[in-house]
Amino acid sequence: MHTLPACTFLHPLPLRGESGISEALLRRLSALSSAKGRGAERGWGEGGKPPHTPNSQNNYNSPTPTTKNHPMKTTTLTAIILLTTACTTQTTHIYKPDGNKQCEPATSTLANSTTQLTSAGIEVLTSNCATHTGMAVMTVCGAPTLGIHLHEINASDIQKAKDLGYEEANNLINHEQGTGYEITNCP
């Protein structure tokens, strides 16, 4: 079985509120990224000055604890949370020939294909009509077309989709033979 790597970003990160990231965390991240002044990039808070030390203005190595937040730690933790959240759901693309014949009206629709998957308990994230490229096809009425129905699903549902006759779209891609697929308008 060929699946996507451990964390493949096919889509941008979700918008606010779509991923379970709290508004408070997003406000904190925005505040950190807008810190101004010399020193802000070093994690010194407002910038321009190191944390206050009671006995010396220039003693940067003083072990005196401060009450300021640690933006660098917060930024690192936030980045880890965002990356972990973004990598929790892996997706893959599957396809099935659309079954249409040359010179004949379309008999199978993208909506029918999507319904077949959802009826089997498979969440369909996106659906497109596509064409298998790099293949020669005989031009004669009644012969099959190179049309396919392409769906993005959770990788955990791949076996259920295979049981319905779908295959992984990665199987269509062969750089040596010049084959692949491209999204097209539905017939």
pLDDT over 80 at 185, yes or no = yes
pLDDT in tens, 85-115: 555 579 999 999 999 999 999 999 999 999 9
Q: Is residue 9 part of a domain?
A: no
Number of domains in the chain: 2
- For residues 82 and 97, state if they share a domain: no
Query: Helix/strand/coil (H, E, C) string of the chain?
Result: CCCCCCCCCCCCCCCCCCCCCCHHHHHHHHHHHCCCCCCHHHCCCCCCCCCCCCCCCCCCCCCCCCCCCCHHHHHHHHHHHHHHHHCCCCEEEEEEECCCECCCCCCCCHHHHHHHHHHCCCCEEEEEEEEEECCCCCCCCCCECCEEEEEEEEHHHHHHHHHCCCEEHHHHCECCCCEEEEEECCC
- For residues 114 and 144, state if they share a domain: yes
- For residues 67 and 144, state if they share a domain: no
pTM exceeding the 0.85 threshold for the entire prediction: no
Q: Is residue 51 part of a domain?
A: yes
Domain residues for the domain of 160 are 91-184
pLDDT at position 51: 52
By percentage, how much of the chain surpasses pLDDT 90? Answer: 49
pLDDT over 90 at 133, yes or no = yes
